[in-house]
Amino acid sequence: MKRFKDKTAVVTGGSRGIGLSTAERLAAEGAHVFIMGRGETELDKAVAVIGNATAVPGDVSVAADLDRLYERVRERGQGLDVLFANAGINPLATLEELTETTHDAIFDVNVKGTFLTVQKALPLLNDGASVILTGSTAAESGAAGMSAYGASKAAVRAYARAWAGELGGRGIRVNTISPGPVNTPLWDKAFGERAEEMMATVASGLPANRVAAPEEIAAAVTFLASSQSSFVYGANLYVDGGMNQI
């Protein structure tokens, strides 16, 4: 049985990595998926992979771009059942290296972008809808070079807890997914030429002894999106190979 038959989903940051894997899974289980990302070429390739999908280019930190996304959803006429607010960036910088411009960019996308993504979806969210926000183990780990990113994800966690209470009366569930290290393009962008070396180092310190594949995070997201998690409100689901648990 397809868990998302005839459902409508939105995935931001849906053209690659965790977003793309989640969009693929939602579509495979019956949903029509709207994806948003910054690169039109990447979006076109993603739609070809996903199948039952509509791409809307845009930046989640720009309100007008989200208005265009939700207008497309509105035109479908079935409301919105699953919202995965996943878009995010993670430039690495120590306190000494961090510039005001980089700091603002991180908070614009990760915090303001998450806020706008969910707030602008409110008129479309069907009663009983599921909203999933992408957090991170960095919100608690205090990893060097990730202070601004970790702080932005701590804010996302706070959003989820408050919004779960505010929207619970409509049966709308808001939860956070907190991945650990995942083999995605974001990892390569963050570490550059040191990506493989860093992946091996991080993996050696995990009980799982490896980093995650995007599909493993997508499996957890679709659990939170489905009726199988019907009594889960305001939770933070760690999918981190044990990184923050042991």
Quote the pLDDT of residue 71.
98
Active site residue 233: no
**Domain-embedded: residue 167:** yes
| pLDDT for position 181 | 86
For residue 226, is it within any domain? yes
Positive or negative, the Cα torsion across 181, 186, 191, 195? positive
Domain assignment present for 106: yes
| Global confidence as pTM | 0.95
Q: For the segment 34-73, what is each residue's pLDDT rounded down to a tens digit?
A: 999 999 999 999 999 999 999 999 999 999 999 999 999 9
Domain for residue 244, yes or no? no
pLDDT of residue 184: 79
According to the model, what pLDDT value does residue 205 have? Answer: 80
Residue 245 forms part of a structural domain: no
Annotated active-site residue in 70, 149, 159, 233: 149
* pLDDT at site 208: 85
pLDDT confidence of residue 187? 72
Q: Which domain holds residue 115?
A: 8-238
Q: The domain spanning residue 170 has which CATH number?
A: 3.40.50.720
Number of structural domains, the chain?
1
Task: Specify if 169 maps to a domain.
Answer: yes
- For the record, the structure tokens of 237 come out as 């689901």
Report whether 85 contacts 133 (CB < 8 A).
Answer: yes
**pLDDT value at residue 209:** 87
What mean pLDDT is reported for the chain?
94
Asked if residue 243 belongs to a domain, the reply is no
Distance CA 147, CA 141 (A): 10
Buried b (16+ CB within 10 A) or exposed e, 215-237: ebbbebbbbbbbeebeeebbbbb
Residue 228 lies in a domain: yes
pLDDT of residue 178: 97
DSSP per-residue letters across 84-99: EE---------TTT--
Alpha-carbon distance of 82 to 5, in angstroms, equals 12
pLDDT less than 50: residues of the chain: none
Q: What is the pLDDT of residue 192?
A: 77
